[in-house]
């Protein structure tokens, strides 16, 4: 890269050399196998069960729960419609019909339609169950031709939602600038709870974090305060986070955490580094090891409980709580913070590649989806721009009118802007528009 090669050429060089190395290793391995006498044996049943257990435990708890809920939903649907609930055992052609029927009738408990994201999750859960170690069916209900009709129905339901739904697809708006100012005023560090909310928000905002499970298991060792080469203080992450962007894979680029972000100090009274250091001092005084313990009430000496922490559900509703207590213009969700980070960086002129280094997204397309969100101020500016254009067009017309009429300019202009109620009248003007 120092030699001036572009990113595409550097990628080609590194991938080419890696593929060549793997090919050489594979050839050597196969040649070694051919030279030796190979014996085959079956894996003992108890070993096979242990391997299945390892695979199952590697799946996140939330994914297991979601899979179980949606699979049971599908099974109950089949039972209610007098169809075989043992869908794991039926031929692909019948399963395709079952899924097609199921997708067409999917509704929430209140009768409302599921969002496109939820529909995709339901299908993924059923696929995950069918290909699990327990069922082990060699099918793919997402891509196989045998399931083309059911997938067409799923797309039809997405289109139906977009056409007739409640417009709730965009459920994660970026936080408005005016609400960001309100939050700064609310974060006065007057109590353990308020200081904790400020630090929690800053970490999600500056590091573009997501996921209540990830946040729940952070400790005092997860972040550290350092100084850069210019002696400017900053907070950095000490370890990788398990998230949607960091998955188990045999390909390095699939599991490598590309986050390269820091939270720097600034000269304002709301400096995030000052808040973080104050918070860490209070945690150490209370003897806490978790980053988000339960705040105490009425205890001036100890702001936080030593052995009690905030639960995943509490952390999941933290931004909603801040929205209510800070009296923001709307109730935001935790994911709105991540959307805000991307939106602000883009408005400041950062490229999608730069933003990826903060959010950890694996491709620029994912970043672009966040940038679609527009703030109220931006939407207002669009309207103002359009209105100004109309005013300019009208001003140009009036200037043309002045230039055309050699006398009586004021009289003609006054007649031009007259308004009132007229019946059965025809107006003839001796000038062009």
- 337 pLDDT exceeds 70? yes
Average pLDDT, integer, range 48-77: 83
Confidence of residue 235 (pLDDT cuts 50, 70, 90): very high
- 38 pLDDT exceeds 70? no
Contact 178, 330 (CB under 8 A): no
What is the predicted pLDDT for the residue at 259?
Answer: 63
What is the predicted pLDDT for the residue at 410?
Answer: 46
The better pLDDT of the pair 375, 104 is held by: 104
- 168 pLDDT exceeds 70? no
For residues 430 and 13, give the distance between their C-alpha atoms in angstroms, rounded to a whole number.
75
52-61, 149-158, 177-186, 407-416: which has the minimum mean pLDDT?
A: 407-416
- 409 pLDDT exceeds 50? no
- 311 pLDDT exceeds 70? yes
Confidence of residue 430 (pLDDT cuts 50, 70, 90): low
Percent of the chain with pLDDT over 70: 68
What is the predicted pLDDT for the residue at 42?
Answer: 75
The better pLDDT of the pair 347, 84 is held by: 84
Average pLDDT, integer, range 264-287: 93
For residue 132, the SS3 value is coil
- 26 pLDDT exceeds 60? yes
Confidence of residue 173 (pLDDT cuts 50, 70, 90): confident
Closest by CA to 236, choosing from 221, 246, 255, 215, is 221
**H-type alpha helices, 187-271:** 192-207, 212-216, 252-255
Confidence of residue 348 (pLDDT cuts 50, 70, 90): confident
Closest by CA to 347, choosing from 364, 367, 371, is 371
How is the chain split among helix, strand and coil, in percent rounded to 5?
55, 5, 40
What angle, rounded to 10 degrees, do the helices at 334-347 and 318-325 form? Answer: 80
What is the predicted pLDDT for the residue at 130?
Answer: 93
- 248 pLDDT exceeds 90? no
Mean pLDDT across the chain: 79
Tokens of 204: 């999600």
For residues 412 and 74, give the distance between their C-alpha atoms in angstroms, rounded to a whole number.
75
For residues 176 and 329, give the distance between their C-alpha atoms in angstroms, rounded to a whole number.
8
Which residues 6+ apart lie within 8 Å of 320 measured at CB?
331, 332, 333
33-42, 78-87, 178-187, 332-341: which has the minimum mean pLDDT?
A: 33-42
Q: How many CA atoms lie within 13 A of 145 on its CB side?
A: 0
Average pLDDT, integer, range 356-385: 67
The better pLDDT of the pair 425, 233 is held by: 233
For residues 113 and 341, give the distance between their C-alpha atoms in angstroms, rounded to a whole number.
30
Average pLDDT, integer, range 267-289: 93
Which DSSP letter does residue 133 get?
T
For residue 244, the SS3 value is coil
The better pLDDT of the pair 111, 35 is held by: 111
Contact 214, 242 (CB under 8 A): yes
Positive or negative torsion for Cα 284, 285, 289, 294: negative
What is the predicted pLDDT for the residue at 345?
Answer: 85
Confidence of residue 135 (pLDDT cuts 50, 70, 90): confident
For residues 376 and 374, give the distance between their C-alpha atoms in angstroms, rounded to a whole number.
7
- 413 pLDDT exceeds 50? no
Across the chain, how many H-helices and E-strands are there? 18, 5
Report pLDDT digits (tens) over 102-128: 999 998 888 888 888 889 999 999 999
Average pLDDT, integer, range 273-279: 95
φ, ψ dihedrals at 43, nearest 5°: -70, 130
> CA-based angle 158:164:168, to the nearest 5?
75
For residues 239 and 310, give the distance between their C-alpha atoms in angstroms, rounded to a whole number.
21
The better pLDDT of the pair 236, 422 is held by: 236
């Amino acid at each position: 890269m120092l030699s001036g090669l572009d990113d595409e050429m550097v990628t080609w060089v590194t991938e080419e050399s890696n593929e060549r190395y793997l090919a050489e290793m594979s050839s050597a391995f196969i040649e070694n196998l051919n030279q030796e006498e190979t014996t085959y044996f079956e894996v003992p049943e108890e070993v096979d069960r242990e391997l299945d257990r390892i695979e199952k435990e590697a799946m996140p708890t939330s994914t297991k729960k979601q899979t179980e809920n949606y699979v049971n939903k599908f099974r109950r649907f089949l039972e209610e419609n007098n169809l075989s609930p043992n869908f794991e055992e039926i031929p692909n052609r019948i399963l395709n019909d079952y899924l097609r029927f199921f997708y067409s009738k999917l509704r929430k408990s209140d009768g409302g339609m599921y969002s496109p994201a939820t529909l995709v999750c339901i299908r993924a859960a059923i696929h995950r169950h069918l290909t699990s170690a327990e069922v082990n069916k060699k099918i793919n209900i997402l891509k196989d031709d045998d399931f083309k009709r059911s997938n067409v129905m799923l797309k039809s339901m997405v289109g139906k939602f977009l056409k007739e739904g409640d417009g709730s697809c965009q459920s994660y708006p970026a936080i408005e600038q005016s609400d960001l100012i309100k939050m700064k005023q609310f974060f006065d560090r007057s109590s353990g709870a308020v200081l904790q909310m400020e630090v929690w928000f800053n970490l999600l905002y500056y590091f573009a974090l997501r996921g209540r499970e990830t946040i729940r298991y952070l400790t005092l060792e997860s972040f550290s305060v350092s100084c850069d080469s210019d002696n400017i203080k900053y907070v950095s992450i000490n370890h990788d986070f398990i998230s949607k962007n960091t998955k188990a894979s045999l390909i390095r680029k699939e599991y490598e955490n590309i986050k390269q972000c820091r939270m720097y100090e600034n000269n304002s009274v709301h400096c995030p580094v000052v808040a973080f250091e104050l918070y860490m001092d209070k945690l150490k005084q209370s003897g806490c090891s978790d980053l988000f313990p339960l705040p105490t009430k009425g205890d001036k000496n100890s702001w936080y409980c030593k052995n009690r922490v905030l639960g995943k559900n509490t952390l999941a509703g933290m931004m909603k709580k801040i929205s209510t207590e800070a009296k923001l213009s709307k109730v935001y969700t935790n994911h709105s913070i991540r959307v805000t980070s991307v939106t602000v960086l883009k408005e400041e002129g950062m490229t999608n590649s730069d933003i990826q280094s903060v959010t950890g997204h694996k491709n620029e397309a994912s970043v672009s989806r966040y940038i679609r969100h527009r703030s109220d101020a931006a939407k207002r500016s669009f309207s103002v721009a359009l209105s100004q254009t109309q005013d300019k067009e009208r001003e140009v017309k009036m200037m043309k009118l002045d230039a055309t009429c050699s006398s009586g300019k004021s009289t003609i202009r006054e007649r031009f802007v007259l308004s009132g109620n007229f019946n059965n009248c025809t107006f003839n003007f001796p000038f062009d528009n």
